[in-house]
Amino acid sequence: MNRTSLLGIGLGLLALGGCVAPAPDDASYESKAAMTAQAALSAARTAVLSTHSFSDGGLPGTYLEPVLEDAEQTLGSVRDTFDSVQPPATSAADDLRGALDPLLESASSDVTDLRIAARRGRSGDLASAADDLSGVADRLEAFGQEHGG
Amino acid sequence: MKRILSVFLGVLTAIGGFVDIGDLVANALAGARFGLSLVWVTMLGVVGICLFAEMSGRVAAVTRRGTFDVIRERLGPRAGLINLVASVLVTVLTFTAEIGGVALALELATSVNYLLFVPVVGFAVWLVIWRLKFSALENVFGLLGLALIVFAVALWKLGPDWSEFLHSIVAPRKPATEDLSTYLYYGVALFGAALTPYEVFFFSSGAVEERWTAKDIATSRVNVFLGFPLGGLLSVAIAGCAALVLMPQGIEVDTLGQVGLPVAVAVGKLGLAVAILGFVAATFGAALETGLSTGYSVAQYFGWQWGKFVKPRQAARFHIVVLLSLMAAIAGVLTTADPIKVTEYSIVFSAVALPLTYFPILVVANDPVYMGEHVNGRLSNVLGTLFLFIIGIVAVAAIPLMLITAAGQ
């Protein structure tokens, strides 16, 4: 194998490595986790607030649906971005990921439930999904505060 | 009586036409994240836009020529070209954001995906620019933009502690959880949103379209010094609503839907309908202004016939530039780039391009050869120079702040 080929393979590996965002240490991973929790909290609380406004008659269904779709998209993208970060090989990082990932999954799933209920016009399902999401949002907020967000 | 009505109409359209997608997004974003601690930047920006819009309106009224025409003649073609390229790039980016803003507002009203509205909005913008008279275009969308007063109503209905509210404005404090660099980055964004370059090009070219003369300088001053600050109050109301409703919930604004939520909470469905009307009017009106501004700048620089005061056939190259910029804006939105992100970048890049727009205006307004007895007074020069200094700092700091904060993350 000549030098040019080796250089090509090396650059290829570097490029592939670049597809996974690095997290050099526990502190920066914790900071990323806190920022992720804040972004997810924002989307979750937007969904809760808009659903409550809809239930109170302050918001039409035509407005609620795109707001929920945006919140759903934001949560999906926030989760994907966090999962693409390579955590440091420490138990603290694994614990952090283990605590945040289920919250992101719950929030995402609850917002999807809200969107489905809103399209079907089921106000009972909307209320219960909003309550669930509200609880997840509180836990995201606590996570963010605990980890310096 | 007719003159008083005309002045009154001018002030109302100045208020209603003041807010565009950049102001909507930047103020809601800053309010939700920093409370009222950045309102001082908006107020500073309003002082700046009043100062330079008055100068550019005066230059247009006295010379009866467009800003770029005079700038090219006064500063030479090379300096004028740099100015032209920077302004056109920023204005087309802003145009893209406005088209996206109209489509997003229509999505909120109908639940239909905003991308489906983009070609329709683009066609409507072209049709209005092609067919509607300048005065009708300016007045209709300026007046409809007054619907955004619903944010002031919402703020009043939310019932804040007014003394604390005002104290937060006059004695601003950065939230402890935010970095100074992020605070400054959003300050730059708000400043860029308040002083967007197209506003002065449109204002001065509009003066030529409406055949202002030196006799109209007083009317222009009333429009600017009354209309723009009152329009600025709408920006403060948007920030105030976000600070009262979204900030306590930890909601950070990244969609247009979030901007309107405080109105739904405080005023209900009717208020929200008025807010959506305001979104559509403000963004559609600004789309017309940015589209026309692109045509004005290019045609004035190259010395082509321009304007809506002549038939389209007589200003064919001007209309072609407007059409090309419209097509670029539509293509930009159809890439599915998030219109709110495009807005955020457009206002930061506006901040970078500010000195290229405002420095030549100060030079021309200060030149007795062009201005005769209407040349800048001492106060205008002192304030103008002071503002250019601030604008220079903001322009230099904008990109480094964007990189340091990862665009305000």
Q: Do A45 and B269 touch (CB under 8 A)?
A: no
Q: What are the pLDDT digits (tens) for B270-317?
A: 999 999 999 999 999 999 999 999 999 999 999 999 988 888 899 999
Q: What are the pLDDT digits (tens) for B209-236?
A: 888 888 889 888 888 888 889 989 999 9
Among B108, B245, B249, the residue with its CB nearest the CB of A63 is: B108
Assign residue B234 a region: left if phi > 0, alpha if psi is -120 to 50, beta otherwise?
alpha
Q: Which amino acid is at B315?
A: A
Q: What is the ipTM, given to two decimal places?
A: 0.87
Backbone φ and ψ for B339, nearest 5 degrees, come out as: -60, -30
How far is B401 from B408, CA to CA, in rounded Å?
Answer: 8
Residues from A contacting B (CB-CB < 8 Å) are 35, 38-39, 41-42, 45-46, 49-50, 53, 57-63, 65-67, 70, 74, 141, 144, 149
Six-digit token pair at A81?
């971005």
B17 three-class SS: coil
Mutation site, A63, A78, A111, A139, interface B, largest B CB count within 10 A = A63
Question: Mean pLDDT in each 10-residue stretch from start to end of chain B (409 residues)?
Answer: 74 77 92 95 94 91 86 85 90 95 96 95 95 87 91 96 94 90 94 87 87 88 88 94 96 94 96 96 93 93 90 93 97 93 90 88 91 92 94 94 88
Q: Do B264 and A59 touch (CB under 8 A)?
A: yes
Query: What was the pLDDT predicted at B265?
Result: 95
Query: What was the pLDDT predicted at B238?
Result: 96
- Domain B2-169+179-404 of CATH type 1.10.340.30: no
DSSP for chain A reads --HHHHHHHHHHHHHHHHTSEE--SHHHHHHHHHHHHHHHHHHHHHHHHHHHHHHTTSS-HHHHHHHHHHHHHHHHHHHHHHHTEE--SSHHHHHHHHHHHHHHHHHHHHHHHHHHHHHHT-HHHHHHHHHHHHHHHHHHHHHHHHTT-
* b (16+ CB within 10 A) / e for B333-346: bbeeeebbebbbbb
Cβ atoms of A53 and B154 within 8 Å: the answer is: no
Residues from B contacting A (CB-CB < 8 Å) are 107-111, 177, 245, 249-252, 254-255, 257-258, 260-261, 264-265, 267-269, 272-273, 276, 409
Which residues of chain A have a CB within 8 Å of the CB of B108? Answer: 62-63, 66-67
The answer, yes or no, to whether residue A11 has pLDDT greater than 60, is: no
Query: What was the pLDDT predicted at B157?
Result: 96
Query: What was the pLDDT predicted at A149?
Result: 54
Query: What was the pLDDT predicted at B18?
Result: 81
Pick the closest to residue B348 from B49, B93, B24, B98 (CA basis).
Answer: B93
Which residues of chain A have a CB within 8 Å of the CB of B107? Answer: 66
Q: Which amino acid is at B279?
A: F
* Alpha-carbon distances of B1 from B4, B140, B223, B345, rounded to whole Å: 5, 21, 17, 45
Among B251, B257, B267, the residue with its CB nearest the CB of A45 is: B251
Q: Do B261 and A49 touch (CB under 8 A)?
A: yes
Which residues of chain B have a CB within 8 Å of the CB of A42? Answer: 250-252, 254
- Domain A23-146 of CATH type 1.10.3720.10: no
How far is B295 from B290, CA to CA, in rounded Å?
Answer: 9
Pick the closest to residue B328 from B355, B298, B356 (CA basis).
Answer: B298
Q: What are the pLDDT digits (tens) for A37-76?
A: 999 999 999 999 999 999 999 999 999 999 999 999 999 9
Assign residue A59 a region: left if phi > 0, alpha if psi is -120 to 50, beta otherwise?
beta
Closest Cα in chain B to A40: B251
Q: How confident is the model at residue A6 (pLDDT cuts 50, 70, 90)?
A: low
Q: How confident is the model at residue A19 (pLDDT cuts 50, 70, 90)?
A: very low
**Domains in chain A: boundaries:** 23-146
